[in-house]
């Protein structure tokens, strides 16, 4: 028998996973459409800038510390 608290936690995580999956699918569809609108060359540039942008946004939004390795690579 599963404890009710475990069951409710599992159900919440299931909803969160479903929402995350739906958002990822929507992002993939929008990205595919954006490639047609901006062109393949510019979309390649956008993909490569996210390697730098995501950690910087993590610092601003989540207050995540940057690793030394990341800072050395930026120089």
Indicate if the pLDDT at residue 9 is higher than 60: no
CB-side neighbour CA atoms (13 Å) of 19: 6
Task: Compute φ and ψ for 41, nearest 5 degrees.
Answer: -60, -50
Instruction: Evaluate whether 43 touches 34 at the Cβ level (below 8 Å).
Output: yes
Report, as an integer, the average pLDDT of 8-31. 78
Q: How is the chain split into domains, by residue range?
A: 1-32, 39-75
Report, as an integer, the average pLDDT of 27-41. 88
Structure tokens at 41: 């060359």
What secondary structure letter does DSSP report for 65? Answer: P
Q: What is the pTM of this model?
A: 0.51
User: 3-state DSSP call for residue 53?
Assistant: helix
Residue 59 pLDDT: 92
Indicate if the pLDDT at residue 60 is higher than 90: yes
């Amino acid at each position: 028998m599963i404890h009710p608290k475990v069951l409710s936690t599992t159900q919440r995580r299931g909803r969160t996973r479903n929402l995350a999956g739906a958002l990822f699918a929507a992002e993939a569809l929008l990205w595919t459409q954006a490639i047609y609108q901006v062109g393949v060359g510019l979309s390649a540039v956008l993909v490569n800038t996210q390697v730098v942008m995501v950690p910087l946004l993590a610092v601003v939004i989540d207050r995540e510390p940057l690793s030394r390795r990341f800072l050395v690579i930026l120089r």
